[in-house]
Amino acid sequence: MRPQQRKIFIVNYRFLSCGNVFGDGLRHAAGELDHAYEAAFWDDPGLPTKIADFGPELIFVVHGRKFAERWRSTFSAYNTAVWLLDEPYEVDDTAKWSQEFNTVFVNDPNTLPRHRNAHYLPVCYDPQTHRDDGLQRIYKVGFIGGYNAVRERYLLMLAEAGLLGYVVGGPWRAPALGKLCLAANIPADRTSDLYRQTEIVLNVFREVHHFNRQRVSAFSMNPRIYEALACGAAVVSERRTEIDQVFPELPQFSSPDELLAAVTRLLADQTHLARARAQCRQQLAGHSYSDRLKRVIRIALGADAEPHVSEMFPGGPLVAGWEDYGSIARLRRELSLSGNHAMSAVGQKPDWQAMTRSPTSSCPSTCASLPMHGSSPKFTSRIDMTRPPTPTISCWRPNTITLQNTSRFSDHCR
Contact 164, 189 (CB under 8 A): no
Alpha helices in 33-87 (DSSP H): 47-54, 65-71
Which pLDDT score, from 0 to 100, does residue 19 have? Answer: 67
Three-point CA angle 35, 59, 64, nearest 5°: 130
No. of helices (H) and no. of strands (E), the chain: 12, 19
Of 51, 77, 80, nearest to 64 (Cα)?
80
Q: What residues pair up with 309 in beta bridges, in sequence order?
A: none
pLDDT in tens, the chain (414 residues): 466 899 999 999 988 766 689 999 999 999 999 999 999 999 999 999 999 999 999 999 999 999 999 999 999 999 999 999 999 999 999 999 999 999 999 999 999 999 999 999 999 999 999 999 999 999 999 999 999 999 999 999 999 999 999 999 999 999 999 999 999 999 989 999 999 999 999 999 988 777 889 889 999 999 999 999 999 999 999 999 999 999 999 999 999 999 999 999 999 999 999 999 999 999 999 999 999 999 999 999 985 444 433 222 233 333 344 333 333 333 333 333 223 333 333 333 333 233 232 333 333 333 333 333 333 333 333 333 344 343 333 332 233 222 233 233 222 223
CA dihedral over 335, 332, 388, 363, signed as positive or negative? negative
Pick among 3.40.50.2000, 3.40.50.1820, 3.90.550.10, 3.40.50.800: CATH of 139-282: 3.40.50.2000
Which pLDDT score, from 0 to 100, does residue 210 have? Answer: 79
d(CA 387, CA 241): 15
Residues of the chain with CATH 3.40.50.2000: 7-124+289-300, 139-282
Which pLDDT score, from 0 to 100, does residue 356 have? Answer: 30
d(CA 184, CA 196): 19
d(CA 324, CA 208): 48
Which pLDDT score, from 0 to 100, does residue 4 have? Answer: 81
Please, what is the end-to-end C-alpha distance for the chain in angstroms? Answer: 41
Of 42, 45, 95, nearest to 67 (Cα)?
42
Contact 262, 141 (CB under 8 A): no
Locate the DSSP E strands across 22-155. Answer: 36-41, 58-62, 80-84, 103-106, 118-120, 139-146
Coil, strand or helix at 52: helix
HEC sequence for 318-367: CCCCCCCCCCEEECCCEEECCCCCCCCECCCCCCCCCEEECCCCCCCHHH
Counted residue by residue, the chain has a size of 414
Distances from the Cα of 146 to the Cαs of 126, 169, 204, 206, 303, in angstroms? 21, 5, 10, 9, 41
The pTM of the full predicted model, rounded to 2 decimals, is: 0.74
Coil, strand or helix at 162: coil
Which pLDDT score, from 0 to 100, does residue 338 have? Answer: 29
Domain 7-124+289-300, what architecture? 3-Layer(aba) Sandwich (3.40)
Contact 185, 168 (CB under 8 A): yes
Which pLDDT score, from 0 to 100, does residue 366 have? Answer: 32
| Residue 102 DSSP code | S
Q: What secondary structure does DSSP assign to 215-273, as a single string?
A: -PPP----HHHHHHHHTT-EEEEE--HHHHHH-TTS-EESSHHHHHHHHHHHHH-HHHH
Which pLDDT score, from 0 to 100, does residue 331 have? Answer: 31
